[in-house]
């Protein structure tokens, strides 16, 4: 089973790019972030025409997540538990059953800038709620993945210019510590099981020719429970698409599971 996570930066503005990508790369599952669409306006038809089941959790204007799957999606849950007052659409999860059942969690973690401030407080609080959901997933002792745009640069090696991000909400020590607390509960960060070292990014700003200068950061991640990590066959970043027509500022991150 080949699973990709992809922050597409607006589904309606990105249809040609995303459909071309699906036709070429043909993931079994695509976890999408920043659909920037309410559920009723999500253009399901072209995805369904390509054989994908579609589950969305959107809101007006920004944020929004979706799961596309060639296999049926079961037990869909929308919203990260832990704060009934949080109306931002940043979490959707569902189970897909191939050779094995895999719980898929698609997340769009808050950016948190400017930091410090209320947006950063929201980011850290959201990460605490994520940790709680993560503990429950581990307790289930089943294959599960939490994948998406974490808006976290885990280490200096994950940025072309780490000094430029030192005080940013994506790289501050509190952010990195909160991310490590989740990973250290017992998750495997898929990409780093396959590729070590600097120079591997998943986001390049639209501004200042960041792509052409390879001035990127690695902020899109896939965290696997031990039972999912047992099934991990490959992990990679598909960076080439960033140089294509009308690209998102993020690129897809992939895993292959023996499931």
Binding footprint of DNA on the chain (CB under 7 A): 9-14, 36-38, 60-63, 110-111, 113, 119, 151, 206-209, 246
* Contact yes or no for 180/192 (Cβ under 8 A): no
**Minimum distance from CB of 212 to DNA (Å)?**
9
Indicate the residue among 14 and 172 with the shorter CB distance to DNA.
14
167 is an annotated ligand-binding site residue: no
Indicate the residue among 103 and 250 with the shorter CB distance to DNA.
250
Q: Where are the alpha helices (DSSP H) in the chain?
A: 15-25, 44-49, 118-140, 162-165, 173-183, 226-229
User: Of the residues 28, 57, 108, 221, which is catalytic?
Assistant: 108
DSSP string covering 21-50: HHHHH--SEEEEE---S-GGGS-HHHHHHT
53 is an annotated ligand-binding site residue: no
Rounded CA gap, 22 and 27, in Å? 7
Please say if 258 is a catalytic residue: no
Indicate the residue among 75 and 240 with the shorter CB distance to DNA.
240
What the block records as the tokens of 251 is 């690129």
**Minimum distance from CB of 22 to DNA (Å)?**
17
Please say if 52 is a catalytic residue: no
Q: Name the maximum alpha-carbon separation found in the chain.
A: 46
Please say if 108 is a catalytic residue: yes
Active-site residues: which are they? 108, 149, 250
Annotated binding site for Mg(2+): 7, 34, 149, 151, 249-250
């Amino acid at each position: 089973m080949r699973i990709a996570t992809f922050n597409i930066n607006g589904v309606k503005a990105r249809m040609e790019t995303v459909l071309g990508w699906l036709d070429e790369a043909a993931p079994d599952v695509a976890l999408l972030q920043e659909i920037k669409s309410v559920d009723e306006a999500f253009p399901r038809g072209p995805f369904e025409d390509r054989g994908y089941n579609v589950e969305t959790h959107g809101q007006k204007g920004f944020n929004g997540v979706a799961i596309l799957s060639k296999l049926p999606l079961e037990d869909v849950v929308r919203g990260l538990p832990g704060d009934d007052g949080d109306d931002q659409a940043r979490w959707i999860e569902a189970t897909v059953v191939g050779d094995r059942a895999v719980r898929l969690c698609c997340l769009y973690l808050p950016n948190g800038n400017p930091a410090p401030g209320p947006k950063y407080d929201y980011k850290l609080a959201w990460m605490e709620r994520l940790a709680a959901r993560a503990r429950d997933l581990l307790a289930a002792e089943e294959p599960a993945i939490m994948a998406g745009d974490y808006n976290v640069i885990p280490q200096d090696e994950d940025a072309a210019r780490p000094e430029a991000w030192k005080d940013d909400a994506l790289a501050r020590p509190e952010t990195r510590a909160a991310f490590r607390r989740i990973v250290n509960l017992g998750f495997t960060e898929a990409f780093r099981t396959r590729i070590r070292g600097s120079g591997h990014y998943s986001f390049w700003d639209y501004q200042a020719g960041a792509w052409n200068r390879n001035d990127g950061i690695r902020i899109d991640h896939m965290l696997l429970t031990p039972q999912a990590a047992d099934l991990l066959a490959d992990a990679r970043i598909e960076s080439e698409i960033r140089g294509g027509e009308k690209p998102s500022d993020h690129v897809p991150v992939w895993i292959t599971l023996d499931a």
